[in-house]
A = this chain, B = another copy of it.
Amino acid sequence: MTEFRNPDAVAKMRADFARQGAMSAMGISVADVVPGRVVLEMPFNPDFTQHHGFMHAGVITTAMDSACGFAAFTLMEEGAEVLTVEFKSTFMSPAAGDHFRFEGEIVKSGRTLTFTQGRAIAIKDGTEKTIAMLTATMMAVRGLT
């Protein structure tokens, strides 16, 4: 089983999450954290829709990016910070739902680069549907803050 390299990783991750203004502004919270995997969730938020009333693709992406970035962070060494290098987001269905879940996980963790993948699930009347997927490259940086 995968283990944390930094015993303070989860505490540090939750503290960093709390400092992400974008997460609280959008109503996104942490649902679960294990080494190499982070799950976030968000209720439908009418303040962040696009013009057909669905959640904006960029907001769905913001949540998947955060889930993947924090997943990458869980296996980084002490003193490293995580920055997003790039991601690709694919939208299979419009983001309609009462509630959304965002899963981010590591595909391969390296010293400098970590490769991750994520997905967004819309929940409507108890039925789940994968509406988007993301692959992201994350980078460990030192001395950023």
- Does A89 belong to the interface (CB within 8 Å)? yes
Residues of B within 8 A of A90 (CB): 85-86, 107, 115, 135, 137
Give CA–CA (A112, B91) in the complex, Å: 14
Q: Are A88 and B86 in contact (CB under 8 A)?
A: yes
Contact with B along A98-115 (1 / 0, CB 8 A): 000000000110001101
A: contact size bracket: 35 or more
How many Å from the CB of A56 to the closest CB on chain B? 4
Give residues 24-82 of A contacting B (CB, 8 Å).
Answer: 25, 46-52, 56-59, 61-63, 65-66, 81
Q: Can you report 18 residue pairs joining A to B where beta carbons are below 8 Å apart?
A: A19-B51, A21-B48, A21-B49, A22-B49, A22-B58, A56-B66, A57-B87, A58-B61, A58-B63, A61-B87, A61-B89, A62-B62, A87-B88, A92-B115, A108-B130, A117-B133, A133-B135, A137-B137
Listed in ascending order, the chain A residues whose CB lies under 8 Å from chain B are: 16-17, 19-22, 25, 46-52, 56-59, 61-63, 65-66, 81, 83-94, 107-108, 112-113, 115, 117, 130, 133, 135, 137, 139, 144-145
